[in-house]
Structure 1
C-alpha cells in the first residue's frame, strides 16, 4: 500500500500501479504527475464521492478500482478514459449509472453491492466485455442492447429484483458462468429446495474449531471436531452480499445439492452460534487433495491461472473430467446450476480424481419450465468445455480424439447444440476405457518376449 506522503514527495515517479487507502475525501491531483506511466489506480477504501472531470489525462490508465467509497453516481469522467479495461466500484451507494460513464473499451465491470435500479443502453456498446458483476443491486431488467455483448463470458446478477431472465441470455455464444440466485423468480425455488431436502442440525456446542482452512467472499472455513473425535470442516458465513450473491442462497444451494461422491457438500446446519452466525458442517477433504488452479487474474479476466509446472497424464485428466461431469449431472438432475464451474473450485488427486465445491454462485431452475432449464444447463456446458480444454492442454501424452471432439462440442457457440452432462459423462467413460486399453496394449508390446 502506498502513502499520500510518498505521492506528494515524488517518490512514486514512474509507477505503473499505485494503491491509496488513507481516508481520502478528494482525488489527489498529484496522481496526474504519473500520467505517462500509471496503468492501475486503486483508490478503494476511502471516502471519495467524485472523480475529476479531466481523469482522461491519465492516458495509460487501464485499471481503476474505487470500491468501498461514497459514490452515488458512477462518474462520467470514466467514460472518457479510452484505454480502460477494468473498472470496479463495489460497495458504494451508487444509484445512477449515466450513459456517458461507460467507456466502450471495458472488458470487466464490477458494480456489486450498490443501489442501481437501471443500466443505460450504452452498456451494449462495450463489445469487449467479458466479465460483468452486478450482484446486490435493485435491477429488474437488463438493457436489451446487451444482446450485442457476444464476448460476455461471466455474468453475476444475483441478489437483485428479477422476476424473469432475459431470453437473449441464451443467444450469447460465450456465456459460461451465470449467477442468478436471490432474485424473486429464484427465492421460492430456494425455499422449496430447502424444505424438500433438509439436512440434520448440529448444535454449535458440539463443535470445537481448529485451524482455518480457507476464507472466501462468503465465509470462513475451519477444520473442526464434532463430538469427541469426528473430524469435519465448518463454514461460517459472513452475512454480507458477495460478488456471487447472498450467503443464505449459497447455504440453500449446499443443502439442496444433496450428497454425491465427487461433490463437497453440506452434512448439517449449525444451530446456536452465540453471535447468530449461520454455518454448515461439511465433509473434511483429505489434505492430499489440492486445488487444481488459481482464480482468474486481472490479465486472464475469465480464465483460471495454473501453476507453470501443472502437468498430468491423459488418464488423470480424464478421471478429473469424469468426476466433475458426474457431479454436474447430479446437480442438474436436482434442478440446480453450479454457476461457477472453474478449476479453482476443484480439488484433485492424481489417483483419486476431482472434487467439486463452492456453491456461492449456484442457483435453482425450479421456476423455469423444462425447456428453459435444459437450455441454461447447456449454457453451463461451455464452462465444462473450458475446463476440459485446460486439462487437455497440460497432458503429458495424447488424449483420444473423441475427447477433443467433446471439448469442441461444449465450446461451440450454439447453446442448444451442446451436449448434456449425461452425454459428456458417457463419452468420457468410453474414452477412458479406450485409453486404458491402449496403454495396456502399448505396455505389453514394449516388453521383450
Structure 2
C-alpha cells in the first residue's frame, strides 16, 4: 500500500473524514483495510484521467468549425495516450463481496475502471444512494440492486450492458442525463463548441459527488 492510500485510509479510521478518494492511484483492488471503515460514507475510486473523449471527437469530426481543429487534435492525442495506458492494468479489476460491510456507505463511485462484474452483496448496502459504474466492462447488472431501497442514481453508461433489472426510482436521473446529451449534440451541430463542451462536462459529471 502506498503512502497516499495509507494516509487517506487513516484519516477515515481516525474520524477526521467520512470520505475516501482513491482515484488515480493505480489500484487494481481495494486494500483490505477499507472494509473496516464502518463510518465511511463516500468511497470514490474513479480514474478520471482515463475518461474517454471519443464521443466528443466523433461529434467534432462530424460538425467541424474554424476554431475546433486545434481542440480536436488535442483530444485525439489524449485519446491515444489513454488507450496506451489501458494496456497496463492501473484500474480496479475486482471488488470483494466484503464491500457489504460498509453499512454507512452512501456514495460508491467505481467509474473508469475495468470491472467485469460487481458482487451481489452490494445490494445489501442499506444507505447507498449513488452507485456510479460508468465506463467499466460490465455486461449485466444483478437483480440484487433492486433491493437498494435508498438508491437515487445509477450511472452505468459506457458499459457493454445486456441486462438491467427494473429500477423505477432511477427514471428521473435518466431524464436529466438524456437532456444533457441532447443539448450537447444540438450545440455542436450549431457549431457552438464552447457550449457543446460545457454540456459534455455536465453529462459526464452529473450525479458525481466530489
Shared fold by TM > 0.5?
yes
Provide, for residues 4-29 of structure 1, a one-character-per-residue CA deviation record: whole Å limited to 9, x for no partner: xxxxxxxxxxxxxxxxxxxx934586
Secondary structure of the residue that 1:64 maps to in structure 2? strand
Instruction: List runs of 5+ in structure 2 lacking aligned partners.
Output: 48-89, 205-210
* Distance (whole Å) between structure 1 residues aligned to residue 31 and residue 149 of structure 2: 26
**1:95 corresponding residue in structure 2:** 93
* Distance (whole Å) between structure 2 residues aligned to residue 110 and residue 69 of structure 1: 14
Q: Is residue 2:19 matched to residue 1:63?
A: yes
TM-score by length of structure 2 reads: 0.61
Provide, for residues 135-155 of structure 1, a one-character-per-residue CA deviation record: whole Å limited to 9, x for no partner: 010011112111111211121
* Distance (whole Å) between structure 1 residues aligned to residue 136 and residue 143 of structure 2: 18
**2:138 corresponding residue in structure 1:** 139
Greater helix percent: which structure? Answer: 2
CA 1:29–1:89 in 2, change beyond 3 Å: closer, same or farther?
closer
- Say if 2:141 and 2:163, in contact at 8 Å, map to a contact too: no
Structure possessing the higher radius of gyration over alpha carbons: 1
TM-score by length of structure 1 reads: 0.30
Secondary structure of the residue that 2:192 maps to in structure 1? strand
* Distance (whole Å) between structure 2 residues aligned to residue 61 and residue 93 of structure 1: 24
How far is the alpha carbon of 1:165 from its aligned partner? 3.1
* Distance (whole Å) between structure 1 residues aligned to residue 155 and residue 199 of structure 2: 15
Provide, for residues 223-248 of structure 1, a one-character-per-residue CA deviation record: whole Å limited to 9, x for no partner: xxxxxxxxxxxxxxxxxxxxx8xxxx
Instruction: List runs of 5+ in structure 1 lacking aligned partners.
Output: 1-23, 40-56, 180-243, 259-264, 269-279, 285-356, 363-449
* Distance (whole Å) between structure 2 residues aligned to residue 30 and residue 73 of structure 1: 17
How far is the alpha carbon of 1:132 from its aligned partner? 1.3
* Distance (whole Å) between structure 1 residues aligned to residue 194 and residue 3 of structure 2: 49
How far is the alpha carbon of 1:105 from its aligned partner? 1.4
**1:374 corresponding residue in structure 2:** none
Q: RMSD of the alignment, in Å? A: 3.3
Greater strand percent: which structure? Answer: 1
CA 1:60–1:83 in 2, change beyond 3 Å: closer, same or farther?
farther
- Say if 2:109 and 2:131, in contact at 8 Å, map to a contact too: yes
Secondary structure of the residue that 1:70 maps to in structure 2? coil
**2:192 corresponding residue in structure 1:** 281
**1:169 corresponding residue in structure 2:** 167
Secondary structure of the residue that 2:24 maps to in structure 1? coil
CA 1:140–1:105 in 2, change beyond 3 Å: closer, same or farther?
same
